[in-house]
Amino acid sequence: MNILNIVREWVKKMFSHSDIKSALNCEAAISEKMSAAIDDWCGMYAGNAYWMDPRKGVRSLRLEQAIVRELANVTINEMTVKAKNKRLDELLKPALDRLNINLQKALASGAMVIKPLGGNNVQYVPQSAFIPVEYDVNGRLIKVIFPEVKYISDNDYRIRLEYHDLDFQKGLTITNRAFKSSDGVSLGKELSLTEVGEWAQLPPEIMYPQMLRPAFGYYVNPIDNTIDGSHAGVSVFDCAKDLIRLADNQFGRLDWEFESGERALLVDDAALKPAENGRADVPKLKERLFRGLNISGGQSGDFFREFSPALRQADFIAGLEEYKREIEFAVGLSYGDLSDPQTVDKTATEIKASKQRKYNTVTAIQNNLRYCLEDLCYALAFHNAITKQGTELTVNFKDSILTDEETERKQDQQDVSLGAMPLWEYRMKWYGEDEATAKTMVAGSSAEVVE
């Protein structure tokens, strides 16, 4: 088990564990129900959802990864971030190098913290690897525990609890406690921080009376928490969990349809030559093509029979594509992001509506990410003692989801007018028609004019 999985397992079991209260005199602000949900999302994201059953041919299509990758790419690919202070801008840029992949994890787990470590170094912590203690009325994380687990041997671990306690009257207090554990889950015996080399310079407790903001950036998905009603973040694919399960099962049926429908020759045992090892031998072709069976019965004299059933893949594929479209609708993606856009007719209005849905989803994510980056910018300035030099940050996002589509459509219209693009191809692309329908519509028109 790697360290990240150890931390995740530790956090899952510690949400309701009395060790937290005895060690830091605080309680986790999250329920066991929410903890179980986060664990489910992490399993789905890793391709290990609870419904996976390789024995029955049910494997993950990894739709969860496709969902978060698409949302993360569109969210930040055209993002520009600029700190007014030159020194702070130099610190911020390399700190965001790994933002995309970690935003994907945040979209999957529900939230993340970007925690400065000094200089331009930051640590990205998904919701599965920290313990929330308190949120303010707006859902901003103000008290949180960051566990760090060090593997020494199979029965020897070191655990450090870093507790951030933000009080808007008293300022920020950061507490560090170390423990020796035999399993990496229970805290075990408390140690001095000096007994672990990497933690020896950390103060057991330090106060910053002037710090009235979190010493990190906190991002949370813009999704209402109907699981336990808390401020904890919810995965972007939680509302599509059942649909994803159905899609994975449907793909298992499709895979079985191909496997069970493989062509085979049923060969009478009498036609198989005995090999030196005593086993029956087959003619020199694909081994899986032959299946030994007593089919002649000494009557017809037929030693070979073909087994080649008709495949029903079209129905299975159609069902799978429908599940994908339902998933796209549920998570706020456009038609065609997961599904094959050529498998269903969509009007121009429906296509535009799906683009608008994705635009709204991404815009909400961008707004929450902006708040996260503003806090991160201030936290970086705080850790580098340059807050007095200014922490103003400008974050811009482009809305190319809608804008580029209109530009591309106008360009295609010009190509049709110039004869560089056939009208039927234009109709396929922008009206969602298949080739036969598009050519029929063009043939039925009195004049090929792009509307």
pLDDT digits (tens, 9 = 90+) for 132-178: 999 999 999 999 999 998 888 888 889 999 999 999 999 999 999 99
Convert the pLDDT of each residue in 358-388 to its tens digit.
999 999 999 999 999 999 999 999 999 998 8
* pLDDT the model gives residue 155: 86
Confidence of residue 348 (pLDDT cuts 50, 70, 90): low
**CA-based nearest residue to 432, from 310, 313, 334:** 334
Q: Say if CB 391 and CB 381 are below 8 A apart.
A: yes
* pLDDT the model gives residue 149: 87
* pLDDT the model gives residue 32: 86
Q: What is the DSSP letter of 441?
A: H
Sequence letter at residue 316: F
Convert the pLDDT of each residue in 25-48 to its tens digit.
888 888 889 999 999 999 999 999
Collapsing DSSP to helix, strand or coil, 116 comes out as strand
Q: What is the DSSP letter of 173?
A: E
Q: Say if CB 156 and CB 192 are below 8 A apart.
A: no
Two tokens at 110? 């529900």
Give the C-alpha separation, 163 to 147, whole Å.
9
Sequence letter at residue 47: G
Q: Say if CB 357 and CB 334 are below 8 A apart.
A: yes
* pLDDT the model gives residue 373: 97
Give the C-alpha separation, 361 to 71, whole Å.
8
Convert the pLDDT of each residue in 40-89 to its tens digit.
999 999 999 999 988 888 899 999 999 999 999 999 988 999 999 999 99
**What is the DSSP code string of 133-164?**
EEE-TTS-EEEEEEEEEEEEETTEEEEEEEEE
Instruction: Find the helix packing angle between 241-260 and 32-45, rounded to 10°.
Output: 30
Collapsing DSSP to helix, strand or coil, 444 comes out as coil
Q: What is the DSSP letter of 8?
A: H
Enumerate the H helices of 175-334 as residue ranges: 241-260, 313-331
CA distances from 384 to 74, 105, 363, 377, 378 (A): 32, 27, 31, 11, 10
Q: Say if CB 160 and CB 136 are below 8 A apart.
A: no
**CA-based nearest residue to 401, from 15, 71, 66, 4:** 71
Pairing of strands 393-396, 80-83: antiparallel
Average pLDDT score over residue span 196-202: 92
Q: Say if CB 127 and CB 38 are below 8 A apart.
A: yes
Pairing of strands 264-267, 290-292: parallel
* pLDDT the model gives residue 403: 59
* pLDDT the model gives residue 138: 93
Q: Say if CB 164 and CB 172 are below 8 A apart.
A: yes
